[in-house]
Amino acid sequence: MAQTKRYWALIPAAGVGRRMGSDIPKQYLPLAGKTVLEQTLSVFLKHPKINGIVLAITEGDPYWPTLSQQFQDISTPIMLASGGQERCHSVLNALIRLATQADADDWVLVHDAARPCLSAEDIDHLINTLSKTSNGGLLGLPMADTVKRCDAQGHVLATVDRSELWRALTPQMFPLALLTKALTHALENKLLVTDEASAMELQGLQVTMLEGQASNIKITHPSDLQMAELFFRH
């Protein structure tokens, strides 16, 4: 009998940034009665196919100990990993932590802590489609706006053909062993990749882009938080 595939969420939440005019890291800002991070976690905790979560947080994070108390009695385990200097370090630490509980061919869904509006439908889309591939892939959106290439002074140099351009979103879903190898190789070669798909591409692996929902916004500016509030309200 074939082994049932398992799926794990990895959420790097270390050093997410403080660009919101507040001393509080943006993943801990309030959103619809909870924090941004709580809303992000809840999407995966409610999903029936997610076996567990690895959360990479900064050593000595003063906010998580209080927040974590509400998750002590849940059936879906939340494991902690040490956050790194960059996102890629945090994700690799989370993968190494997960390897103590998961199999090499289990799938991992790496998701931004500051994307609380992810839908269960998009998780289903990833799992149902990418589980049939060898290398996995990611959610994205086709570029809808006209794209300009500019110099350092802001002068327009050219209009870029957008027909094959996509905005990368998360989750990005890959087999645990393949992603671990790809990130390890990138960091050993001092390549600070900005997302997991980039590490896979450096290994010569072809990954698949799936169209996600536009509501899957990343909280970067105060206006994003206001849009997220509207999302949860409606």
> Mind listing the pLDDT tens digit for each residue in 141-199?
999 999 999 999 999 999 999 999 999 999 999 999 999 999 999 999 999 899 999 99
What is the pLDDT at residue 4?
A: 79
Question: Residue 3: pLDDT band by 50, 70, 90 thresholds?
Answer: low
**Looking at the chain, how many residues does it have?**
234
88 occurs within a structural domain: yes
What is the tens place of the pLDDT at every residue in 10-68? Answer: 999 987 655 576 788 999 999 999 999 999 999 999 999 999 999 999 999 999 999 99
**Considering its fold, how many domains does the chain have in total?**
1
Q: 1: pLDDT confidence band, cut at 50, 70 and 90?
A: very low
Per-state percent for the chain, helix, strand, coil, to nearest 5: 30, 25, 45
Contact 121, 139 (CB under 8 A): no
For 93, the token pair is 């630490």
Query: Is the Cα torsion angle 136, 95, 139, 189 positive or negative in sign?
Result: negative
Amino acid identity of residue 141, one-letter, is L
Residue 1 lies in a domain: no
Asked if residue 2 belongs to a domain, the reply is no
> Which CATH number belongs to the domain containing residue 38 in this structure?
3.90.550.10
Domain that holds residue 133: 7-233
pLDDT of residue 79: 96
User: Would residue 214 count as lying in a domain?
Assistant: yes
Determine, yes or no, domain membership for 175: yes
Quote the pTM value. 0.94
